Each structure stands twice: as structure tokens, then as C-alpha cells.
Structure 1
């Protein structure tokens, strides 16, 4: 774990809230839960005149964000995980204990894609960082952003 004075980072993704405190403003129904017990919400990405639909898990607490997609063996093409932050901040993730490659998409407060780290390396301890303060991070199956031509500036929308 890195010090919050140096970078706002914990192991695979991080955020700052009291233990168990929600870090996003999630309005999803608790009746829609993933196998991991996380809330499921619809998410769309608008790119080059097309809309791509996903169902994503919301990692809304410190514990959920620290766990992220670690140890998962698969991620369907229309699934992912969103990590909302209470306030925009520089984000840094790593792939420790993450079995599958991921596309890590950094999302600004206005919902636009700031940058994409494509096909991140499983188990890597190298930090994957946003280029500026972001409001959320979206993880999709590795290579999915390229398949759908998702790029910086595209729009990401989900219930917040």
C-alpha cells in the first residue's frame, strides 16, 4: 500500500473513505446484485455515433474497491466494474492478484473518457495511472475498448 500523502492509491484500485463507507452516490436497487454481492447497474459508452451497453458491478466501498476484480477467472464482453470516487482525483491501479487482462478506462467528472490503459498485464505491480483527476474508473475485459473503438473523449453514463 502506498501512502495517501504520496498518491491516493491502495492495492487494485483505491479510494479514501471510512471503512464500509460508500464512496459513490449509487442509486441502484440493492435487489440487483452480482455473484460477488455488488450492485449491478447499466452503463453505456457513446463512441463514434454508436452506443455500447454494459452491466457493471459498482465497487462503492473501500473494501469493494480494494478487492476489485482480483481473482476473477473471466469477465464477459458486456460486463465490467465501475469505481466511483467521492471527489475527482488522480487514480492509480495495479493488477496484483488480477488473473485476466483488463482495459482500465479513466472517466472525468463530465463522463468523458480521459484515457485508456488497454490490455493491462495480469499480476503486474506496475502502477497504471490516469493523466489527470478523474471521477471514476471503469474496468472492462482486456481488448474490449479497441474492439468497440472506444477512445478518449467518448462518453460514459451510469446511474450515480
Structure 2
């Protein structure tokens, strides 16, 4: 991940690219290492909604457009909640990381994720 100031933050991500893996997500896990996350990749760019059903830990959900730009962050989500968490905008992916970590690391909307799934400006 790269901030607007050029600061790089590295995460080890598990990719959820199939419907069954996206449905399972981080459910039933009791912890997640600080520098790890799960990247949900979608087949189409469109608004999405997530939830926290059977998810025991709070997460930050970073909603990412097709160019790798973070367009919205849902911070410190509520574990086990059935409430829908909206991307607000069309997205290609969602990166879930430990709840509160985006604020701790200064991750903001407008920052970019660098990953092979994204082909926008400044991407490899």
C-alpha cells in the first residue's frame, strides 16, 4: 500500500478470489496478525456490501476501486454484526485488516493498493 505522501506499508494478504472463499472470508478466526489481511477480489466493478456474521474480531474494511485507490474505509467494524457495510462506491476489491489498524498506520481514502489485480496509474 502506498500513501499519498509515498509512504509504503506492506501487508501479507490471503486472496479470496472465488465465491466460496469470499463467502467464508475471515469467519471463525480468533485473531489476525497486525501486518496480515484478506483481499476480496470481485469479478465486476460495482457497489458491494459486507457483513461481520460469524467474524469474531473487529476489522477495518478498505474498499478499493479498479485502479487500486481506496475509496472508502469502514473502521473498527462490530464483530458478529449482521448489519450491512456498504462500499458506497463501485469497487473491484475489499482489503480487510485488523480493526483500528488503518487509523494507527495513517491509511486513508485516496491511498493506493499495489497488487497485480489493479492496473491503474502508478501500478506495476
Residue among 90, 93, 96 paired with 1:136: 93
Q: Which residue of 1 aligns with 2:57?
A: 100
- 2:2 is the counterpart of 1:46: yes
| Structure 1 consecutive aligned stretches of length 4 or more whose deviation exceeds 3 Å | none
Could you say which structure has the greater relative contact order, defined with CA pairs below 8 angstroms and 6 or more residues apart?
2
CA distance in 1, matches of 2:92, 2:18: 15
CA distance in 2, matches of 1:57, 1:159: 14
Q: Which residue of 2 aligns with 1:82?
A: 39
Q: Which residue of 2 aligns with 1:159?
A: 116
RMSD: 0.7
Larger Rg: 1
Aligned length: 116
CA distance in 1, matches of 2:104, 2:27: 23
| TM-score, with length taken from structure 1 | 0.71
| TM-score, with length taken from structure 2 | 0.91
